[in-house]
Amino acid sequence: METHLITLTFQECNVRYGLAPAELHEFLQAGLLRAAPAPETVIVDEPDELPRLARLYHELSLPPEALDVILAMRQRLVRLQALLAHETARARQLENFLRGSGAVEEL
């Protein structure tokens, strides 16, 4: 899975997602975001992560520590779903092979 890094200023985060600089500093301290080399900027690893973070923060009023747990659980769930899809495809391929209707190939 390809990761796209996005660099945003605190001002852009405030305008786009309603996150004040103080909130962004809390997120940086909690490890939810990474500081970019330029002052007052952050690096976002996934394009959907910052909007999700802002939504959880605003709608549920969760502290940064709780947001960290939720985002970690979501990342684990995404990895498990990808693994399940891979294993399901592998099982389907083996079933087809046993029926004599396909070859076994590395997925």
CA distance 8 to 14: 10
For residue 23, what pLDDT is reported? 93
DSSP category for residue 59: H
Q: Is the pTM of this model over 0.85?
A: no
For residue 48, what pLDDT is reported? 83
Mean pLDDT by groups of 10 residues along the chain of 107 residues: 76 93 92 89 82 92 91 94 95 88 68
